[in-house]
Amino acid sequence: MSKEKIQICPEFYDIMPPEYRDLVEQATYGKEGRGWKDIGQSKELIEDHSLCAGCPESMAFRYILASLPNPEDTVMVGSTGCTSLVFPHVAVHNIHSLFGNQNAVASGLKRALSVRFPGRIKDVVVLAGDGATVDIGLDMTLQAWFRQEKFTTICFDNELYANTGGQESGLMRKGFVAKMAPVGKKFEKVRLPEIARESGCAYVVNCTVSKPNLVEKVIRNAVLIAREIGPTYLQLYTPCILEIGKNSMEGLQEMRDSEKPGERFRYYEYVTDSAKQFLAELEAKEKQTAAAAIEG
Amino acid sequence: MANELSEVQRSLIGKQNKKGQTYTDPQHLFFEAPRIPAFFTGSEVIKEAIRRASVDVMVAYPITPQSEAAALIGELYAEGYVAEYMRGESEFAVMGQCAGAAFGGARVFTTTAGPGTMRAFENFPMWVGSRLPIQVIVTCRGINSPLSIQPDTLEMYFLLGTGMLVWHAETAQDFFDWILKGYIVAEQPDVHLPIAVCCDGFFVTHTKDTVLLTPPEMCLPPYDPYRSPVPCMDMETPPVRMMRDPFVMKSNYISYMTHASWQEETRGACERSRKHTIPMIGGLIETENTDAEILIVASGTAVSQGREAIRLLEDEGIRVGLVKVKSLRPWPGQEIREATKHAKHIFVPEFNVIGWLAQEVKATIPDNHRVIAGPHVAGGMTMPAEVIVEEIQKALGRHVTTLAGRGS
Ligand SMILES: Cc1ncc(C[n+]2csc(CCOP(=O)(O)OP(=O)(O)O)c2C)c(N)n1
Ligand code: SF4
C-alpha cells in the first residue's frame, strides 16, 4: 500500500478524530530510513496503550512500530496476552485470533500474501508473549522455523504469564516463585534463542528494550532478513513490573540490570553466513546512497 | 439479490486462468453447462470439485478417511490448479494456517475428520467471529475411545454450535455440487462465514458412484476479498484504530453488548445465507410424500438407507414419506414443521449414538412425541434398510418381518 491510500474523504474530514487526521498527515508510512528518532516528531503508529503504567512492553511497542522498514506493507500477527490489549491501538493491519497459534496464522497469511501480491513486499511480523511463543504455541513456533517461513517472530519475554496474573512460564527463571510454581520453578529457563538457531532461523537476537537504537537495528535486520532469506527470531526482555514487584519508574533499570555481562539478557546474536552477507550488502548500498546524497 | 458477484469477479467472467480454464458465471456453471458422467470415489470427487473452485490455498493433514482427498489436492497443486498447498503440523495448526490465509484474502480449502475435527475445534468459532469464508470438508468418523476410524457422525453434533454453515451431503454428487456452491454462498457479503460440508466417511469417500461433473475447462470466479464485511488484512486498505479500550478488558455494559451483538450478527449472517442457499441447492430440505402418516427425517447417507427402507415398506403396503435435511445450519425449522405437519410418526435414523438430528427435530416441531429417535448405529456399524424397517414395524406394533443380519 502506498501512503496515498491512507486518506480521508474530504466530506468527512471535519468529523474524523484528530488523532486519525494526524495519522494521515504526520505518520511515517513510506518514509525511507524511518526509526525511533521519528518519535516525538511525527505521528506514531500506536495511539495509546492499555498496559500497566510504566510497562516496558509499551516502550517496546513504540520502538518496534517506529522501526518497521515498511509499515505500509506490513501485517502483524499477535496472540492473547498483555500484547493483545495494545494491538487495537496499532495503525497497521493486525490479526488476533487465538492464544498460541500466531505462527500458524502467520504461515498461512504470508503464503496468501505471496500468492496475491507476487513480486511485491508484504512483510509479516509476529509479536506475542512468552507463554504464547514457548509454551502453548511452541509446536507452531518451531514448525514455522523448520518450514523456513519467511516472517519475523518477536517474543516479548516477561518471564511469566502476565495477563492471567503471573503464572509460571517456560521462559521463567528456575527457582522463581510464582502462581502455579508455589515452591519455585523447578526447571531452567527454556533456551529458545539457541533452539531458534538450531531450528533454522537465519537471524536470532536476545536482548532487552532498554536502548531504542538497538531495538531499531534488530527489528530492521530481522524484518529485512525474513523478507529475503528465512525466518528470524527476536526475544526481547520486557519485564512485567507488576508481577515482579517494581514501580512504574523501575522498568528501565530492571532491563539494564539484566543485560549486564553474565545476566540472562546479555546481548546474544546469531546470524547465518547468508544473512551476514545480505546485511553487508545492504550496508554497502546504504553507504552508497548516503554518499550520493551528499554529492548530489 | 441472491448469489451476486462483485464487479471484479464479473469482469473476469469469460477470461482464462493460467491453466486455461475459463472463469464462468456460477449460475451457468451449475445449472446450464453440460455435465459429464464419471465413475469416481468421493475422494476423487473432492479433487474434481477443487479443480474447478479457483482455490488459492489448501492446508492438508492426514487423517482417515480424508487423507486421500487431501493428498489428491496436492496433485492439483503440483499441476498448478491450486496456488499454494502445505501440510500443517496438526489440525489445530492447520485451521490457524487456514485462518491466516483467509485473513490475507485467499480462498481457502481444507479437509479433516473425527479426532482432527475435535483437535481443530477452538478455531471454528474464531473463524466465524472473524468472518472467514473458509471451506472445510468433514468426512465424519468415530471420535470415541478406543480408537476408531469407522464412519460415525458424532463430531457433527459439536459443529452445530460453532456458528458455521453446516451442510450434510448424502452422495458424491451432493458433494461435488456443494463444494463449489458452498464457496458462492459462504462468500456473499451478507453471509461471509466459514462452511463445513460434511459427509459420512468411507460410505461417501471410499465408494465409487456415478457423478455428473461440470466441464473441467470451466471454473469459479476467484474470491474477491474486498467484499468481506470486515477488512482484509493485507494493508491495501487504510488501517483503523479499532478502539481505545479493547473490549476484552472491560467489564461494562458496552463491552458485553458488543460481544453479544456480534454473536447475534454472525448468527444472523448464517440465517441470511438461506436466500443464497435455497436457489443453489434446491432448498434446505428435500421431501417426498410428506402427506404420508409415517415419515423418515434424515441427513447424510441415512437418507439413502431411508429410501431403501421406504421401498421395502412399500412392498408391504406401508406408505412412508421422506425428508432429506441438507443444511443443518442454517436449520430448516420452518421447512421441517411444514413437512412434518401431517405425520403421525417421525423416524430419525442416524449414524451416531446420541441422535443429534432427532434432538433438533424434537426441538422444532409441535407434538414432538411423534419423533422416534432411531434407529441409531455407531462406531462404524452399517445401517441396513431392514433395521429401519424393523424400527418402524416395531413402533407401529406390527409383526417384524425383517431380522437383518441376525442369523436364526
Ligand atoms: C487456549 C487458551 N488457554 C488459556 C488462555 C488464557 N490466557 C490468556 S492470556 C494467557 C497468558 C499469556 O501469557 P504470555 O503469552 O506470556 O503473554 P503476557 O500476558 O505475559 O504478555 C493465558 C494463559 C487462553 N486465552 N486461551
Ligand atoms: S501485567 Fe505486567 S506485562 Fe502486563 S501490562 Fe502489566 S506490567 Fe505489563
Number of domains chain A contains: 1
Q: Which atom of ligand 2 is nearest to the CA of A238?
A: 3
pLDDT for B407: 42
**pLDDT per residue as tens digits for the range B298-315:** 999 999 999 999 999 999
Q: Would you say residue A1 has pLDDT above 60?
A: no
Q: Decide if A224 is inside a domain.
A: yes
d(CA B219, CA A3): 36
Which range of residues forms the domain containing residue A83? 53-295
Nearest atom, ligand 1, residue A98 CA: 26
Q: What residue segments make up the domains of chain B, in order of their start?
A: 7-227, 285-395
Name the residue with higher pLDDT: A17 or B362: B362
Check pocket membership of A158 for ligand 2, CB cut-off 6 A: yes
Look up residue B402 and give its three cell numbers: 425383517
In a domain, A263, yes or no: yes
pLDDT, tens digit, 9 for 90 and up, residues B148-178:
899 999 999 999 999 999 999 999 999 999 9
Closest by CA to B40, choosing from B179, B165, B194, B212, is B212
Please determine, for residue A26, whether its predicted confidence score (pLDDT) is greater than 60. Answer: yes
Among the partner-chain residues B84, B97, B243, the one whose CB lies closest to the CB of A104 is B97
CATH of the domain at A179: 3.40.50.970
The atom of ligand 2 lying closest to the CA of A241 is 7
Is the Cβ of A16 closer than 8 Å to some Cβ of chain B? no
| pLDDT tens-place string over residues A103-156 | 999 999 999 999 999 999 999 999 999 999 999 999 999 999 999 999 999 999
Average pLDDT over chain B reads: 94
> For residue B201, which of B238, B159, B155, B247 has the smallest C-alpha distance?
B155
With the most atoms of ligand 1 within 8 angstroms of its CB, the residue from A85, A158, A163, A243 to mutate is A163
Q: pLDDT band at B247, cuts 50/70/90?
A: low
Mean pLDDT taken over chain A: 95
The matching CATH number, chosen from 3.20.20.100, 3.40.50.300, 3.40.50.920, 3.20.20.70, for B285-395 is 3.40.50.920
Per-residue pLDDT at B403 exceeds 80: no
Asked if B239's CB is within 8 angstroms of A91's CB, the reply is yes
The answer to whether position A116 is within a domain reads yes
Would you put residue B362 in left (φ > 0), alpha (ψ -120 to 50) or beta?
alpha
Under the banding of pLDDT at 50, 70 and 90, the label for residue A259 is: very high
Which residues, listed in sequence order, are joined to residue B27 by a DSSP beta bridge?
A: none
Domain B7-227 has CATH 3.40.50.970: yes
- Ligand approaching nearest to the C-alpha of A57: 2
CB contact under 8 A, B100 and A108: yes
Position B97 pLDDT exceeds 70:
yes
| Cα-to-chain-centroid distance, residue B350 | 16
> Measured from the CB, is residue A51 less than 6 Å from ligand 2?
yes
Identity of the residue in B84, B97, B99 whose CB atom sits nearest the CB atom of A115:
B84
Nearest to A50 among B59, B238, B245 (CB): B245
Please tell me if the domain spanning B7-227 has the same topology as the one spanning B285-395: yes
Distance CA B196, CA B42 (A): 16
CA of A80 to the centre of ligand 1 (A): 5
Decide: A140 and A101 in contact? Cβ < 8 Å: yes
Q: What is the pLDDT of residue B242?
A: 56
Say if residue B243's pLDDT is above 60.
Answer: no
Cβ proximity of B310 and B142 under 8 Å: no
**Is A170 part of any domain?**
yes
- Let me know if residue A16 belongs to a domain: no
- Compute φ and ψ for B347, nearest 5 degrees: -100, 140
Structural contact between residues B164 and B124, judged by C-beta atoms closer than 8 angstroms: yes
What confidence score (pLDDT) does residue B248 get?
Answer: 65
- The per-residue pLDDT for B408 is 39
Whether ipTM exceeds 0.85: yes
CA distance B170 to B173: 8
